[in-house]
Amino acid sequence: SPQFGNMASVGEFNSFSASIPATKVELSVSSITFLLQFGRTEVIDNTLNPDFVRKFIMDYFFEERENLRFDLYDVDSKSPNLSKHDFLGQVFCTLGEIVGSQGSRLEKAIAGIPGKKCGTIIVTAEELNCCRDSVLMQFCANKLDKKDFFGKSDPFLVFHRSNEDGSFTICHKTEVVKNTLNPVWQAFKISVRALCNGDYDRTIKIEVYDWDRDGSHDFIGEFTTSYRELSRGQSQFNVYEVINPKKKGKKKKYINSGTNGNPQNPYCNGIDGVMEAYYRSLKSVQLYGPTNFAPVINHVARYASSVKDGSQYFILLIITDGVISDMAQTKESIVNASKLPMSIIIVGVGPAEFDAMEELDGDVVRVSSRGKYAERDIVQFVPFRDYIDRSGNHILSMARLAKDVLAEIPDQFLSYMRVRGIKPSPAPPPYTPPLHNLHTKCN
């Protein structure tokens, strides 16, 4: 059998420099419990029907016979030495045999142990296109079904791309988020070639499972999308109902088993949309310590830096109950952000000492970092405790809080526009109400 290094990552192919015509194909493997010594697949615990995510990229030469051997092992430890694990059998075939099978899908019996049925191996091949793009994605979910008796659920996602014969090939798994019905999975980077082989409209199926230690993961539900839809970011197009077909068929009042959305895109539809996003975040975001401001400021600054023509102005509201832990980095972020169309409002909640916040609020002394001063004052700090009305008049106290929180925004906004010579757009024509014919009836 040919020897290969680590073939888990997508290789590059230059058709103009190749001396012999070849096509790059990707091999996907499903089978009875095994480990491939080919490069190796990942190990999937406690299952007799694994579907491996890791792929193997090979050059397919139509005119040559490329022999392959798949050795199968049951993994008993973390040792990389295959002699420490149980040999389950092997399969011999050629790459041409896989490519030439119907749908480029070869299913073959596992042999090697006399008198014992060892199951089957399924290998699929697909010709790869030359797309080299990668995408960074992040998913969250809300109100997933509760599957664990003594807890909530331990959800993870499994991504599949569709095939021409209607089947699906696994292409990614997320990590498991323990004991929650409102998970936020870590952002991950995946090649567009692995996700959809460069076909932006190819169906992508995403399944949601509740992880179980014994490998019998509980199916929560699924939904389908495409890379073209996912690339739109957070919008009405990227909130999906997680559907469990069995539940839908049995229960008349069944609606869904939860929904997905992308928390990376901050745009909301009006103030109501902002409040809805805030309440949803409270249920799904894990509170974090220490209190680092710089990453948040830099995140908003990236959006503000892309719109400098005066058409948009960004206001970052930070609500914190902690003492700031990255003061030097935050000062540097504020100095850099002072050149951008943005302001920062910090509301301190609770009994903590907020002396550092007063330093960031550059009303008296302009914020500086490494000898460089902020171009303008963009920070307003307000301690919430100063606006608690002891008489119980919460409406009045909230009005005072809102007034002081927004007090510096108009001047900060105008200072940015004036320095850059940005003038207001022409006023729209005055509104003229339409004429209506009035009909009266006299009795």
Distance CA 289, CA 326 (A): 11
Q: In this model, does residue 36 exceed pLDDT 50? A: no
The fraction of the chain above a pLDDT of 90, given in percent, is: 16
In a domain, 381, yes or no: yes
pLDDT at 156: 93
Report the C-alpha gap between 313 and 412 in whole angstroms: 10
Q: Are 116 and 144 within one domain?
A: no
When pLDDT is cut at 50, 70 and 90, the band that residue 6 belongs to is: very low
pLDDT of residue 418: 92
Q: What is the CATH number of the domain that holds 205?
A: 2.60.40.150
Distance CA 56, CA 4 (A): 9
Say whether pLDDT at 33 is over 50.
no
For the cut 90, the answer to whether the pLDDT of residue 208 exceeds it is yes
Residue 313 lies in a domain: yes
* Residue 260 belongs to some domain of the structure: no
- 120 and 140 together in one domain: no
In the predicted model, is pLDDT for residue 34 greater than 80? Answer: no
Q: Has residue 341 been placed in a domain? A: yes
| Alpha helix segments (H runs only) across 199-263 | 227-230, 245-250
For residue 261, pLDDT over 60 is answered with: no
Q: Does residue 144 sit within a domain?
A: yes
Output the pLDDT for position 354.
Answer: 80
Whether residues 202 and 339 fall in one domain: no
Mean pLDDT of the chain: 79
3 state SS of 129: coil
Section 398-423 average pLDDT: 90
Is the Cα dihedral 189, 192, 194, 196 positive or negative? positive
- pLDDT value at position 442? 38
Q: How far apart are CA 67 and CA 230, in angstroms?
A: 39
Average pLDDT over residues 212-224: 88
Taking only the tens place, the pLDDT of each residue in 378-388 is 999 888 888 88
CA 6, 10, 14, 15 dihedral sign is: positive
Residue 280 lies in a domain: yes
Same domain membership, residue 410 and residue 290: yes
Predicted confidence (pLDDT) per residue in 99-131, tens digit = 888 888 888 888 878 888 888 888 888 888 777
What strand order describes the sheet that includes 56-60?
A: 56-60, 23-31, 120-127, 105-109
CA–CA distances in Å: residue 206 to residues 103, 105, 191, 246: 22, 22, 16, 17
User: Based on the structure, what is the number of domains in the chain?
Assistant: 3
**Is the pLDDT assigned to residue 133 strictly greater than 80?**
yes
Greatest mean pLDDT range, 104-113, 227-236, 333-342 = 333-342
Q: In what order do the strands lie in the sheet with 240-241?
A: 140-142, 259-261, 240-241
Segment 22-42 mean pLDDT: 62
Q: How far is 152 from 168, CA to CA, in rounded Å?
A: 29
Asked whether residue 117 falls in the same domain as residue 141, the answer is no
Q: Which residue segment(s) compose the domain that 120 sits in? A: 24-124
- Sort strands 314-320 and 342-348 into parallel, antiparallel or unpaired: parallel
Record the pTM: 0.47
Name the E strands within 40-119.
56-60, 67-74, 86-94, 105-109
Whether 297 is in a domain gets the answer yes
Tell whether 100 and 43 lie within a shared domain. yes
Q: 182 with 143, same domain? A: yes
Q: Residue 436 falls within a domain, yes or no?
A: no
Strands (E), 138-217: 140-142, 155-162, 168-173, 188-191, 203-210
Q: What is the DSSP string of 339-352?
A: TSSEEEEEEE-SSS
Mean pLDDT, residues 431-443 taken together = 45
402 with 309, same domain: the answer is yes
pLDDT exceeds 80 at position 348: yes
Q: Does 345 lie in the same domain as 212?
A: no
Q: What single DSSP character describes residue 421?
A: T
Torsion of CA 381, 384, 387, 388, to 10 degrees: -170
Residue 15: which pLDDT band, with cuts at 50, 70 and 90? Answer: very low
pLDDT digit string (tens) for 304-330?
998 888 888 999 999 888 678 888 999
170 & 59 share domain: no
What pLDDT is recorded for position 11? 32
Crossing angle of helices 294-304 and 327-337, in 10° steps, is 10
Mention every residue, 6+ apart, whose C-beta is less than 8 A from residue 61. Answer: 20, 21, 22
Give the contacts of 320 (CB within 8 A, at least 6 positions apart): 291, 293, 346, 347, 348, 349
Q: Let me know whether 138 and 277 are in one domain.
A: no
The three-state secondary structure class of 191 is strand
From 406, 289, 287, select the one nearest 345 (Cα to Cα).
Answer: 406
DSSP assignment of 368-414 equals EETTEE-SS--EEEEEGGGG--TTS-HHHHHHHHHHHHTTTHHHHHH
- Are residues 30 and 50 in contact, defined by beta-carbon separation less than 8 angstroms? yes
The token duo for 207 is 């399944």
Q: Are residues 369 and 277 in the same domain?
A: yes
Residue whose structure tokens are 């850059």: 420
Domain boundary among 231, 260, 285: 231
What 3-state DSSP class applies to 155?
Answer: strand
Contacts (Cβ under 8 Å, ≥6 apart) of 25: 57, 58, 60, 95, 99, 104, 125, 126, 127, 128
